[in-house]
Structure 1
Amino acid sequence: MTLGIGIIGAGPVTQAIHLPAIAGLSDRLRVAHVMDVDAATAAEVAARAGAAQSTTVEDLLADPAVDVVAVCSPHPFHAEQAQAACRAGKKAVLVEKPLATTLDEARAITEASRSSDVPIVVGAMHTHDPAWLAAERAWGDLPETAHRVRSRIVLPPNARFESVATQLHADPVFPAPSGGPAAAVRNAILGLAIHNLPLVRRFLPEIEQVGLVRALKPFGYLLTFQGGGRTAELVGYLHGGWREEWTFEVWGDDGELRLDFPPSYVRAGSATAELRTAEGTRVFGPYPDNGYTGEWRHLAALATGAEPVRYGMADVAADLAYALDLANRAADLELLQGATA
């Protein structure tokens, strides 16, 4: 069975990441409909995929060829559109991260999914990476014994990867961020750190205190936080060069874990995971598919009833709550630091 995908929002992530991932799974998925508020963008991107096009969510949801919906619009629209896809009785929904912008919105999406029995997958691609899933099956009690976590996301601006991955139609121009360092830190956490925060939460489930916050220019953050006797260090930085590093590391009493992820826009397969224990070192990956392909495979399996949900709504809502809590605490500390400087 080939499932028809309806994509809401035809921006760079859709063009450079999702379209190639779906094309690689043509035995089970095809793009059936592309919606974007910009008619020219919708038409151009739909033509690439041989799909129908529209400028309204209502038209996309009314298309009988659409079995599965991908919500790839700006963050403030996720909640409304995800709920509408559930009410329309689609077979499954992918919502790009973050799931929503508030906990009330997350609760509304959860209720819509429950009442309609439509499964939802959040596009936290690293939680679907084959190397992460393989390491998870092997790491034993590391989540219980971990005492330090570190996440580093150091990348060139997305536009450099986008231009290599595809020829973008109507490359968007985003307004310069406003609101000072506190707003910059919050935006960077919800826009960049959020990629790794579900991984961080697995090993440091409760945030008790944010210890250090720095906003990095032109876009980024440096912060530390603690909880349950554990410490996390997060660095995110978009810079002007070509150097990239996307790593996640955990240290525990009897083991260590390190994952090296390729940049999102580079189709170079999965991460490589290295698990070190007293028994030796085990390496998982790299596998041919990355986390984006992994989430689409899982979505197809959910839509056909071939797999149970990997991450339930309670789990993905908890991921959002964790991200919002960290972003708010970090912004508050940045404001306090600015006031006392």
Structure 2
Amino acid sequence: MRSTLGVGFLGSGPVTQAIHLPTLARLADQFTVRHLNDIDAGVAETVAARAGAAYSTSLETLLDDPLVDVVAICSPHAFHAEQAIAACRAGKKAVLCEKPMAMSGDEAATIAAVSAETGVPVLVGAMHTFDPGWRAAVAQWGELPTASHTIRSSIVLPPNARFEDLATEVLTRPDFPSLDLSDVQVRAAMVHAGVMGLAVHDLPLVRSFLSRYDDLNVLSASLLTPFGYRILMVADSKVVELHAVVSQTWQPSWVLEAYADDQVLHTEFTPSYVHAGSAVSTLTTAESAQVFGPSSSNGYEAEWLELAAVVRGEVAPPDLDGLVDDLRFTVAVADAAAEAVRSADRTEAAA
């Protein structure tokens, strides 16, 4: 019996290279990278050589590899559902799917159904939900989820490449396309992509403060340049503000806050691709301030360690209904924000 879990990656781009391979190198007592897959054979071969692993360009080849116990899905978003379902049906021990889990609620529900049918657990790599600094605050926040009235996510980051290149020597990355921002459909699509690619990190956390989201109302949404969004919405009678901008800032900031009349949560996360420790959360009341973190481990390590614990039967698999609701909420926000951008343009044109 192998002493470590063999991992196969679907997609060998920057997320695999700069996040997961360095993380698994620190967890070599529990995981061994066995297989790298990519549609670009040169990328797959080169990245696999770094890990001493096999490589391929077809999904079937990776799923047929007997040394692969765990499939990590790091491909473009549109392929997540198809690949997660295939990995479950291949009888692997677990699947780690990068966020978003899928591109629609129906796709996510199908993944959940196949996971339940096959008994193959699926974890979604929303690293903030696993972050020790966040989880420590959750364990102590008492009535904050029901008492909160305002939730705010603010993200100010430099381009990913700055941190990717600190983590590893990234082999190929896609160029950001030149887009016509005068076209409202382009702006709406970029806001939608911003929610699915960036806000998605925090929306499961935001949802933990909401008892419902079927009454979601996006009051305003706009594209921030060179890339970002500003979204104001109401759900469950609570105000939710989402703000993000990617620029050449020298000082990154990633903050999630929740306010109640008598308590405030302030969580500062490390930027994506940064491996140096956990978030720091502060719970403040009129009488005290409790600080949680930083822990020496981060959300990336925590998600892989939880996956290993699930495979060993030490902890229960994730709540599938909760993961589907996270995705449905994210898609609802993305769709409504994109429509708000188009609506604002129509209103301006009519004025």
Aligned pair partner of 1:308 in 313, 316, 335: 316
Q: What corresponds to 2:288 in structure 1?
A: 280
* Residue 73 (structure 2) pairs with residue 71 (structure 1): yes
Q: Is the 8 Å Cα contact of residues 151 and 233 (structure 1) preserved in structure 2? A: yes
Are 1:14 and 1:72, in contact at CA under 8 Å, matched by a contact in 2? yes
For 1:189, the equivalent position in structure 2 comes to 195
1:338 equivalent in structure 2: 345
Q: Is 1:326 the equivalent of 2:328? A: no
Name the aligned partner's letter for residue 78 of structure 2.
Answer: P
Contact 1:177 1:184 in 2 (8 A): no
Shift of 1:177: 5.3
| Mapped pair 1:229 → 2:237 | yes
Q: In 1, Cα distance between the equivalents of 2:124 and 2:179?
A: 25
Partners of 1:132 and 1:273 within 8 A in 2: yes
Contact 2:22 2:167 in 1 (8 A): no
Which of 162, 165, 171 is the matching residue for 2:164? 162
Give 1:109's match in structure 2, choosing from 92, 111, 121: 111
- State how far apart, in whole Å, the 1-side matches of 2:86 and 2:100 are: 17
Q: How far apart in 1 are the matches of 2:143 and 2:151?
A: 15
2:329 is matched by which residue type in structure 1? Y
- 2:99 corresponds to which residue? 97
1:253 to partner: Cα distance: 2.5
- Between the aligned partners of 1:21 and 1:177, the Cα distance in structure 2 is 34
Of stretches 101-110 and 125-134 in structure 1, the one that deviates more from structure 2 is: 101-110
Aligned to 1:255: 263
Which residue of the other structure, out of 123, 126, 129, is the alignment partner of 2:128?
126
Shift of 1:172: 2.6
Gaps of 5+ in 2: none
Deviations 1:143-171 (A, max 9, x none): 01000111001100111111222101122
TM-superposed deviation, 1:222? 0.5
2:347 alignment partner AA: T
Give the counterpart of 2:57 among 55, 60, 67.
55
Secondary structure of the structure 1 residue equivalent to 2:139:
helix
Q: Aligned to 2:208, what secondary structure does the other structure show?
A: helix
CA–CA separation in structure 2 for the residues paired with 1:303 and 1:47? 27
Task: Write the distance in 2 (CA, Å) between the matches of 1:240 and 1:54.
Answer: 36
Across the aligned residues of Structure 1 and Structure 2, the Cα RMSD in angstroms comes to 1.2
Distance 1:202 1:84 in 2: 30
Structure 2 letter corresponding to 1:17 = I
Q: Does 1:271 align with 2:279?
A: yes
In the aligned structure 2, how far is the partner of 1:105 from the partner of 1:232?
A: 26
Q: Are the aligned partners of 1:223 and 1:235 in contact in 2 as well (CA < 8 Å)?
A: yes
Q: Contact (CA 8 Å) 2:149, 2:259: kept in 1 or not?
A: yes
Structure 1, unpaired ranges of 5+: none
Task: Give the counterpart of 1:180 among 163, 186, 189.
Answer: 186
Please tell me whether residue 219 in structure 1 is matched to residue 227 in structure 2: yes
CA distance in 2, matches of 1:75, 1:304: 29
User: Given that residues 268 and 281 in structure 2 are in contact (C-alpha distance below 8 angstroms), is that contact kept between their aligned partners in structure 1?
Assistant: yes
CA distance in 2, matches of 1:139, 1:305: 28
Question: Are 1:257 and 1:273, in contact at CA under 8 Å, matched by a contact in 2?
Answer: yes
Q: Using a 3 Å threshold, how does the CA distance of structure 1 residues 177 and 6 change in structure 2: closer, same or farther?
A: farther
2:145: which partner in 1? 143
Report how far residue 307 of structure 1 moved. Answer: 1.3
Cα contact 1:68–1:303 (8 A) shared by 2: no
- How far is 1:332 from its partner? 1.0
Partner of 2:34: 32
2:207 aligned with 1:201: yes
TM-score by length of 2: 0.94
Q: 8 Å contact 1:11–1:172 — kept in the other structure?
A: no
- Matched-pair identity in %: 50
- What is the CA distance between 1:211 and its match in structure 2? 1.4
* Structure-1 separation of matches of 2:336 and 2:116: 31
> How far, CA to CA, are the matches of 1:208 and 1:101 in structure 2?
19
Letter matched to residue 191 of structure 1: G
- Letter in structure 1 aligned against 2:143: D
Tell me the CA shift for residue 173 of structure 1: 2.8
Match of 1:292 among 295, 300, 308: 300
